[in-house]
Each structure stands twice: as C-alpha cells, then as structure tokens.
Amino acid sequence: MTKWRKAIWDILKNSKKPLCAEEIYKINGFKPNLSTIYRALNYLEKKNIISSVSFENSTKYFFPKERHIHFLYCIKCGNIEVFNECTAKEIKMKIEKQFDYQILDHVFYFKGICKKCREEE
Ligand SMILES: [Zn+2]
Ligand SMILES: [Zn+2]
C-alpha cells in the first residue's frame, strides 16, 4: 500500500463513525490533496478493504469492510450514529428461498431526527 492509502486505512480503522473524503481531508495534520484521498478511497473500496454507504445525497461515507455496522442518519444535521445489532440474517434465508437468490451483503440504515435536533425545535 502506498503511504496515503495506508494512512487513510488507519484513519478509518480508528474512527468509530464512517467518514467521507472531506472529513478525512479536514483531519489535522493530514495533508494529501482531496483528489489523492478520493483515489485512495476508490482503490481501497475496489480491493474490498473498505465499504461505503450514502444517505440523502451522493456523498459516500467509508468504513472498514471487516466491521459489520448499521447506521442512524439524522435528516436535519446529517449526523451519523453506528450500531451493531443485525436482524438481517433472519430475513436473508427467507428472501434467498423466495427469489432463488444468493445474498452476499446488505446495507441498513434508519433515517430520523437526532436528540440534539429535536431539542432545538
Ligand atoms: Zn440531528
Ligand atoms: Zn447487518
């Protein structure tokens, strides 16, 4: 891995939340340009090292593939929370049978309004 790929991988590993390219770019002391970050993220995703999720807009948020996580997305402030509980296994077998389909992965998130935004209303 090149220096920046390795550095970005370390940042994502150490972050509890998924991060987009701009957020990685804004990390103090981290100084590749934005297109280098995009290229590194694309590379890591293609190599199946990281995964991404996007919500209301096309911004992709990246996280280590090895981490099976789901998301809470606040439609007001865009804040992302992460949780691990997964109920997909129960549905998976039923759907695979019903559609004669081999399911490989899933992305799951709830949309809503976070506590902070509700308090500000
Ligand atoms: Zn919010
Ligand atoms: Zn799951």
Question: pLDDT tens, 72-115?
Answer: 999 999 999 999 999 898 899 999 999 999 999 899 999 999 99
pLDDT in tens, 17-36: 999 999 999 998 888 899 99
Distance (Å) from CA 103 to ligand 2 centroid? 12
Which ligand is located closest to the Cα atom of residue 113?
Answer: 1
Domains of the chain with bracketed CATH: 1-65 (1.10.10.10), 68-121 (3.30.1490.190)
- Whether the per-residue pLDDT at 1 is higher than 70: the answer is no
Strand partners, 83: 70
- Whether the per-residue pLDDT at 46 is higher than 90: the answer is yes
**Residue partners of 119: CB distance under 8 A and separation at least 6:** none
pLDDT in tens, 97-108: 999 999 998 999
Of residues 70 and 28, more confidence is placed in: 70
Which ligand is located closest to the Cα atom of residue 78?
Answer: 1
Q: At what angle do helices 34-46 and 3-14 cross, to 10 degrees?
A: 80
Q: Are 81 and 115 in contact (CB under 8 A)?
A: no
Distance (Å) from CA 7 to ligand 2 centroid? 27
Distance (Å) from CA 113 to ligand 2 centroid? 21
